[in-house]
């Protein structure tokens, strides 16, 4: 994996979209004056969607950090479909107004990456974990603890980006991917982990602690 991506305020994935929307808005303003207002609103939406703020990283080595901004929609015991073991599952749903930069929840080595094509159901639905387009990163911590985190496309999201590769050493809070326009991230942890969030909680990528490892 390349060096940790810096934080230029606006995510690099959004530069083409932002540039195009601003150019269109300027052209419409030139030829149609105030009729261009809807185009400026679209440009502002694109700007807020692709914002990529820097975050303060908690230093607790046992903390599992939120990989995304959004709202917690699942905290339960469930089967990790990639490791085939029972796990503590915590899911964060991102709407179109959340930051969509994804960050590693733990310090660990990437063991495996698995991409699955699929549907584009509402990412807040439980079946989205198994039926939607998704990309899973399986990581192992220095003490042998295994954690799985999965990017899941949503009803509007049609593009999952993952920059991590097998063998990469991910650092907690490190930017490793992006999902465009609404989505979800599932995190599977050992059953011994203790959840620090509840369903309905709003969380921030990197800064919110989802759970604590035993």
**pLDDT score at 99:** 87
Q: How many other C-beta atoms can be found within 10 angstroms of the C-beta atom of residue 10?
A: 17
55 compared with 113, residue with greater pLDDT: 113
Grade residue 4 by pLDDT with cuts at 50, 70 and 90: low
Above 80 in pLDDT, residue 120? Answer: no
Phi first, then psi, for residue 83 (nearest 5°) are: -105, -10
Asked whether the beta carbons of 146 and 138 are under 8 A apart, the reply is: yes
Confidence of residue 46 (pLDDT cuts 50, 70, 90): confident
pLDDT tens digits for 50-109?
888 888 999 898 999 999 999 999 999 999 999 999 999 999 998 888 888 999 999 999
pLDDT at site 132: 78
User: According to the model, what pLDDT value does residue 2 have?
Assistant: 46
Q: What does the pLDDT average to over 115-123?
A: 70
Q: Is the pLDDT of residue 40 over 50?
A: yes
What pLDDT digit, counting tens, does each position of 143-186 carry? 999 999 999 987 655 578 999 999 999 999 999 999 876 688 99
Could you give the residue numbers annotated as active site? 183
Does the pLDDT value for residue 121 go beyond 70? no
At 1 the three-state DSSP class reads coil
- The pLDDT score that the predictor gives to residue 22 is 93
The whole-angstrom separation of Cα 150 and Cα 82 is: 10
Please, what is the Cα angle at 109 between 139 and 101, to 5 degrees? 70
More confident of the two residues 139 and 47: 139
Contact 162/151 with Cβ under 8 angstroms? yes
* Average pLDDT, integer, range 199-203: 97
Average pLDDT over residues 178-201: 92
Task: Give me 178's structure tokens.
Answer: 């992006």
Give pTM, 2 decimals.
Answer: 0.84
């Amino acid at each position: 994996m390349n060096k940790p991506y810096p934080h230029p305020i606006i995510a690099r994935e959004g530069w083409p979209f932002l540039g195009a929307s601003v150019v269109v808005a300027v052209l419409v303003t030139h030829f149609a004056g105030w009729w261009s207002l809807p185009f400026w609103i679209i440009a502002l939406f694109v700007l807020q969607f692709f914002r990529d703020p820097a975050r303060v990283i908690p230093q607790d080595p046992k903390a599992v950090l939120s990989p995304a901004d959004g709202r917690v929609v699942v905290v339960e015991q469930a089967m990790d479909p990639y490791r085939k073991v029972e796990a503590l599952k915590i899911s964060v749903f991102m709407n179109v107004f959340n930051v969509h930069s994804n960050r590693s929840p733990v310090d660990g080595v990437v063991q495996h990456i698995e991409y699955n094509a699929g549907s584009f159901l509402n990412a807040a639905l439980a079946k989205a974990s198994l039926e939607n387009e998704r990309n899973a990163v399986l990581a192992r911590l220095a003490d042998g603890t295994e954690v799985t985190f999965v990017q899941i496309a949503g009803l509007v999201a049609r593009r999952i980006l993952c920059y991590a590769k097998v063998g990469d050493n991910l650092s907690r809070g490190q930017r490793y991917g992006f999902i465009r326009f609404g989505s979800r991230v599932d995190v599977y942890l050992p059953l011994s982990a203790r959840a620090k969030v509840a369903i309905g909680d709003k969380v921030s990528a990197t800064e919110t602690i989802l759970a604590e490892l035993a």
